[in-house]
Structure 1
Amino acid sequence: MTFYEVTIIIIPTMNQKLRVIYVSAEVAPYAKSGELADVACSLPKYLSYLGMEVSIFMPKYRNPEIESLPKEMIVSNLLVPLGEKKVKARVFKSEQGKYDIYLIDNPKYFWRENIYGTGKGEYLDNDERFIFFSRAILEFLVKTKLHTDIIHCNSWHTALIPVFLKTHYSHKSQFKKVSTVLTLHNVAYQGEFPPETLVLTGLSWDYFCPEQLSLGGKFNFLKAGVIFSDVLNTVSSSYKRAILTEKYGFGLEKILKSRKDVFFSIRNGVDYEIWNPETDSFIAANYSPPDLKGKKKCKRDLIKEFGLSLNVKTPIVGIVSYMTSHKGFDILLEAMDELMEMDLGFVMLGQGDEKYENSFSNFQRRFSRKMAVKFNMNPALAHKIAAGADIFLIPSLYEPCGLNQLYSFRYATVPVVRATGGLEETVTPFNARTLKGNGFVFKEYSSKAMVKALKKVLAYYKKPQIWQKILMAGFQENFSWENAAKRYARLYHNALKIKRGG
């Protein structure tokens, strides 16, 4: 036991020896669907600040952000096993200073308008796309003999990498001491596919059983990763507790419980080099609370950007989110008529399920003077909303961590959230008696509870002295990735210890 404790203590001095391969289907600002992209953008950078050698691997999507990225082709003909055939990939490298980005290129799989699908549903070949992506990374590592200590996988899209390492690549000496970490960002998304998808992996049908790759008769990518990864973690302690229950485990709770000895939680952080109103280049004016003159300019700019006809004194509620039921869009839709009767403006940025996009388009036509929606994930607009809105609404049914409430704190925008997961962990309800608290929280998942919370926050908006206290309480919070990265460093060394039996 003493040896184990000493190992944990000396971890910070060992960071320079670690070579981390960080794998994600999305990385901001090059490709973004949700908060995973923000994490994949910032965590590797902060790991590199600790002295680690970090390489990010992502697909080479066809979009302006990636096309404009300085890069060079380093492999022109990588043959990737896919079922009984081999499919060609190209690999590009972009040096980012402290870390590198490797882009896996195949136009058939990645030259598409969206990452995972459209508002009508996911791409029908997502199984093939991400099996190809995972195998391509491992084939590249074999071809280049790139030294690796940790392969950090994220969500279902990359969850087969640990499976392949312990099957197809188990005989490769370069991987014998490599440890895998799988981060569970949202277990509602598991990558469930028909049994015949297994053929694309080249694995024996012996693996398609409830003890390994199948769940409910389907090939479940995330379950496979949970079973085969050396270490698991998720993005808040509240969410970790939640997904060990039947209600929020989505069928994985028993498997996660069986792996409790290697299952950890590390809350996501904020990259204050990107999300900082004092230096933010996306916003109309820089500012630093308690001086909010710049924020007023940002509010005017937001009103203009979204084409609203509002007085600058009217409170604006902002939302930046993927549009789906688990993000609370069903109760939001139910409440919209009542919200539009209230003295407020409403701006929304996001994309997602077609039914929500159509419904909010209709509301925008009906209430164009005070409500507007933009159906994209434009990073500049996300920053403009954080800076220009007065209130940030996150009505999620469940929320593994949440980052927008953390961004809101720094931009002196008051979050109104439902008490779930990381939202409950980070937002302290304002107490009128003690005048303590950094936001507003409602517990019941209903439109009624959400509207009640918004009415409460609007009442305090009209009390400038109290409002200022709430703003400053949020601004003074510190959720920097610097602290979270140090915890990941300890997690990586723990993973290596588990893998290598040290």
Structure 2
Amino acid sequence: MHVLFLAPEVWPFKRVGGLAEVAYDLPRALAALGHKVGVVTPKPRLSQEMEQGLERLDTVLEVPVSWKRHLAEVYRHQEPSGVEVYLIGHEHLFDREGLYGNAYGDYEDNAERFIFYSRACLELARTMDWRVDVFHANDWTTGLVPVYLRTLYAGDPCLKDAASLMTVHNLGNQGQFWHYDMPLTGLGWEYFVPEALEFYGQINFLKGGLVFADMISTVSHTYAQEILTPELGRGMEGVLMARRDRLAAVVNGIDYQVWNPADDYRLAANYDRHDPSPKARCRQELMGHYGLEDGGGRPLVAVVGRLEDRKGLDLITAGMERFFEVGLNLVVMGYGEDHYHVALGELAARHPGRLGLTIGFDIDLAHRIMAGVDMLLVPSRYEPCGIHQMQALRYGVVPVVRDTGGLADTVVDQRPGVEGTGFKFEPFTMEAMLQTLDRAKQAYDRPQEWRGLMQRAMAQDFSWQAVAPRYEEIYRKALELAGQRQRA
């Protein structure tokens, strides 16, 4: 199959969250199965070194947005895997500090920016004369692509037989804009109705994708059930219930060539599940990096990722003093909401030797943290999939997670009669979190039990090689449904 994978962020060009890794890893796994895979992404502001690694094509796209026609440059990066990454260059719309916004909030022209990007993906396929089998759209920024395939581009010889898959990585972000932006889409007002793009008087890009896509997928089995409920459906539960026969679930994977403690060059020592003992050297190195006190063998707990309410940072910051009473040291690395940056900075200043803090994301340090800590804490309000807990498992780090979404699907709770890979709690409360951390600490104090936990964690297989065949099945189903639609 010829698959075009559409994502606004792709590692290493731009990273806001886990989608960037998915957009890098999944296409490579699909290419390894023999498919022709291209990735299309907006060209962000890049370093000079990254610019030099791009090939500028002679192709210039004319992308309609309302009455205007934007001219866009096309750049290509050839991966050794055979995947071709196409970056759509538009200085005015995408050469900016942030992808979605800056310190003052979302960009006011986001509707125009991502209408342009969605149409540019289709214009690229037309201009290059590709016969794409499946357009794999990801999240709201590409939600209009399935809409356009069924409307403005339905009669195009290159695109008329193409199928679409709409993958929801986070239903919390839907791309809602005021109705006066409707002319920018190029679609008639007949599509501003509840059966199409209209959502409580606004345009909803993701809703368009959910309504018009041939298949819909999300990134864990539990989350696929959760989004059918009013609690986590975010107003889309009715749309999803109506199309649940087309809703599939695939747990994300991680790249075990990149995330492998046995040959990770960033680590103070390499180790595997058969002999995890060298991990102690990685722990010592990390504690030295942050100036942490061992304190008689306190467990070292990491919090990695977005510092925001959804990730349960309110529980963490409010309960920090009690973390130390339980007998834990912490390492926090991430960025997000400013008030958490301030709160964590104040806590680190009050507790030197107990809390190590990095505001920002450093991929090399992320590897060293996973190798050096004992536990990973992920108390998310909701978590469509989550990647960090799978990375932790691979590095023999025991996850302590809330029992929701992909966390529920990837971590087995350690309890009497069940040999688990981590610890889970269900109520979103500080007490439940602290009780579960205490339960994990008790296991940590029993070395034989803890070693078994580590080794079972490291034996799990969440590789993209295990995941990619499931996407093959979904693509085939999408093509079958698209064919039925064409014949109807």
Superposition TM-score tier, normalisation by shorter sequence: over 0.9
RMSD, aligned α-carbons:
1.8
1:483 partnered with 2:460: no
1:49 partnered with 2:32: yes
Mapped to 2, the partners of 1:318 and 1:187 lie a distance apart of: 26
Counterpart in the other structure of 2:122: 138
Change (3 A) 1:421 1:65: farther
Change (3 A) 1:312 1:57: farther
- Whether the 8 Å contact between 1:300 and 1:312 is mirrored in structure 2 is no
SS at match of 1:415: strand
Mapped to 2, the partners of 1:68 and 1:77 lie a distance apart of: 18
1:126 partnered with 2:95: no
The two structures have a TM-score, normalised by structure 1, of: 0.92
Change (3 A) 1:75 1:33: same
Aligned residues: 484
Change (3 A) 1:211 1:343: same
**1:223, distance to aligned residue in structure 2 (A):** 0.5
1:92 partnered with 2:69: no
- Whether the 8 Å contact between 1:340 and 1:367 is mirrored in structure 2 is no
Q: Which shows bigger deviation, 289-298 or 318-327? A: 289-298
The two structures have a TM-score, normalised by structure 2, of: 0.95
- Whether the 8 Å contact between 1:236 and 1:421 is mirrored in structure 2 is yes
Mapped to 2, the partners of 1:228 and 1:19 lie a distance apart of: 20
**1:307, distance to aligned residue in structure 2 (A):** 4.2
Mapped to 2, the partners of 1:158 and 1:338 lie a distance apart of: 43
SS at match of 2:137: strand
**Residue type at the aligned position of 2:124:** F
Q: After superposition, where does 1:98-117 map in structure 2 within 5 Å?
A: 98-117=82-101
- The answer for unaligned runs of 5 or more in structure 2 is none
- Deviation sequence 1:189-240 (CA, Å, 0-9, x none): 1111111221221221221121111111111111011011111011111111
Q: After superposition, where does 1:441-460 map in structure 2 within 5 Å?
A: 441-460=424-443
Counterpart in the other structure of 2:11: 28
From 55, 62, 77, the equivalent of 2:60 is 77
- Whether the 8 Å contact between 1:212 and 1:224 is mirrored in structure 2 is yes
SS at match of 1:280: coil
Mapped to 2, the partners of 1:66 and 1:157 lie a distance apart of: 27
Mapped to 2, the partners of 1:299 and 1:125 lie a distance apart of: 46
Counterpart in the other structure of 1:414: 398
Q: Which shows bigger deviation, 119-128 or 476-485? A: 119-128
Mapped to 2, the partners of 1:386 and 1:28 lie a distance apart of: 19
**1:313, distance to aligned residue in structure 2 (A):** 3.4
Mapped to 1, the partners of 2:282 and 2:187 lie a distance apart of: 55
Counterpart in the other structure of 1:5: none
Change (3 A) 1:256 1:286: same
From 151, 154, 179, the equivalent of 1:195 is 179
Counterpart in the other structure of 2:340: 356
SS at match of 2:38: strand
Change (3 A) 1:375 1:125: farther
**1:91, distance to aligned residue in structure 2 (A):** 0.7
Counterpart in the other structure of 1:264: 248
1:301 partnered with 2:285: yes
Counterpart in the other structure of 2:197: 213
Mapped to 2, the partners of 1:408 and 1:309 lie a distance apart of: 22
- The answer for unaligned runs of 5 or more in structure 1 is 1-17
Mapped to 1, the partners of 2:175 and 2:49 lie a distance apart of: 25
Q: After superposition, where does 1:73-472 map in structure 2 within 5 Å?
A: 73-75=56-58, 77-97=60-80, 98-118=82-102, 120-310=104-294, 313-431=297-415, 433-434=416-417, 436-472=419-455
SS at match of 1:247: coil
**Residue type at the aligned position of 1:107:** E
SS at match of 2:232: helix
Mapped to 2, the partners of 1:248 and 1:318 lie a distance apart of: 27
Change (3 A) 1:262 1:358: same
**Residue type at the aligned position of 1:451:** L
% same residue: 37
**1:94, distance to aligned residue in structure 2 (A):** 0.7
**1:360, distance to aligned residue in structure 2 (A):** 1.6
**Residue type at the aligned position of 2:20:** A
Counterpart in the other structure of 1:493: 476
Change (3 A) 1:111 1:367: farther
**1:318, distance to aligned residue in structure 2 (A):** 0.6
**1:68, distance to aligned residue in structure 2 (A):** 5.3
**1:157, distance to aligned residue in structure 2 (A):** 0.8
Mapped to 1, the partners of 2:376 and 2:150 lie a distance apart of: 44
Change (3 A) 1:311 1:473: same
- Deviation sequence 1:78-99 (CA, Å, 0-9, x none): 2211121111211100110221
Mapped to 1, the partners of 2:304 and 2:365 lie a distance apart of: 9
